[in-house]
Amino acid sequence: MAHNQLDWIAVDWGTSNLRVWLFAAENRLIAHAGSDRGMGQLVPDQFEPALLDLIGGYLPAGRVTPVICCGMVGARQGWVEAPYASTPCAPPTALEAIAPAVADPRLDVRILPGVKQDHPADVMRGEETQIAGYLSANPGYDGVLCLPGTHTKWAQISAGQITGFQTFMTGELFSLLLKHSVLRHSLTDKGWEDAAFGNAVGDAMSAPEKLSARLFSIRAEGLLHGVPSATLRARLSGCLIGLELAAARRFWQGPKIMIIGDGALSAHYARALSLQGITAGLTGVEKLTLAGLTAAYTNLKETNT
């Protein structure tokens, strides 16, 4: 049923998932919804129907509702390409957003660009909106933001700008090894042993070159010595996060660091940093994504009036 108080819609559209939040005036949340229709499974003319499946019933007739999107929806393989902003830059605003052609007259869709760094080559799509959300509440922040995930980002922030960043494939490596490698036979449960994690972080930082030997030793320790899955799983995670910390030193050795993330993964990053004597703040992702999309919407509204 159409919702007459609907003011605008926030959309986080990643590779695997689509999530929407519907707001009334003054950013009062009316409803939220999600589906698995991520950008990865859609061709361009399937985006509008996938979006309407979730929000079509709410859209009032006879007027246009702004829909602000971030994430992989703006990639070259997405709905329409929203060209990257280049570092150093502030997180892109709604002014830089791209409006795909839509068939439904009730929709005004805007897709926020990602951010690129030319040298060394690096890209983000979605994280820049979390960064915008963090900066909307902390406009003078000068320090590092760490965004753990499939592709963990470390971003240097100064004077409202992303001055540089670096991506690590740590999360994707963990998931590939867990699901597809020979290690899957040894990592059969979801347990966790904190001491094994800590030791593996230390080992990886002091001898990072041993990674691929260490990976096989996880299999061999399980086979020969019956080391439990919980220990081996924590060791695998520690191996990979330790390797990342060894290379990300220039980011976390500064005075200020905040982790933007949820759940166990972010807690592991915080713990790995604490073992280096570093205390990092921790804040959730969804709240910041919504703050970033809200800032973009506010900005769009101000421009239009």
Query: Given the rule CB under 8 A, which residues bind its own copies?
Result: 76, 116, 118, 120-123, 151, 166-170, 172-173, 176-177, 180-182, 205, 207-213, 215-217, 219-221, 223-225, 240, 243-244, 246-248
Least Cβ distance, residue 220 to its own copies (angstroms): 4
- Quick one: residue 276, left, alpha or beta (phi over 0 = left, psi -120 to 50 = alpha)? alpha
Closest to its own copies by CB, 199 or 217: 217
Q: How many CB atoms lie within 10 A of CB 8?
A: 22
DSSP line for 201-256: HHHHHH-GGGHHHHHHHHHHHHHHH---HHHHHHHHHHHHHHHHHHH-HHHHTSS-
Asked whether the CA dihedral 103, 62, 4, 288 is positive or negative, the reply is positive
- The one-letter code for the residue type at 204 is A
CB atoms within 10 A of CB 159: 11
Smaller CB distance to its own copies: residue 118 or 302? 118
CA-based radius of gyration for the chain: 21
The rounded distance, in Å, linking the Cα atoms of 75 and 82 is 7
Q: Least distance from C-beta 287 to its own copies, angstroms?
A: 26
- Tell me whether residue 55 or residue 205 sits nearer to its own copies (CB atom): 205
How far is Cα 175 from Cα 208, in angstroms, rounded to an integer?
A: 19
Q: Least distance from C-beta 191 to its own copies, angstroms?
A: 20
Q: Which is nearer to its own copies, 48 or 127 (CB)?
A: 127
**For residues 60 and 9, what is the distance between their CA atoms, to the nearest angstrom?**
12
Closest distance of CB 237 from its own copies, Å? 13
Task: Kindly tell me which of 219 and 287 has the beta carbon lying closer to its own copies.
Answer: 219
Residue 6 to residue 31: CA distance in whole angstroms? 10
Beta carbon nearer to its own copies, 190 or 225:
225
Closest contact distance (angstroms) between CB of 272 and its own copies is 14
- Block residue for tokens 């795909």: 100
- For the chain, the distance separating the N- and C-terminal CA atoms, rounded to the nearest angstrom, is 29
DSSP state of 60: P
As beta bridge partners, residue 260 has 283
Query: How many angstroms separate the CA atoms of 169 and 188, rounded?
Result: 23
In the complex, the smallest distance separating the C-beta of residue 246 from its own copies, rounded to whole angstroms, is 4
Supply the minimum distance, in Å, between the C-beta of residue 93 and its own copies.
22
C-beta closer to its own copies: residue 4 or 206:
206
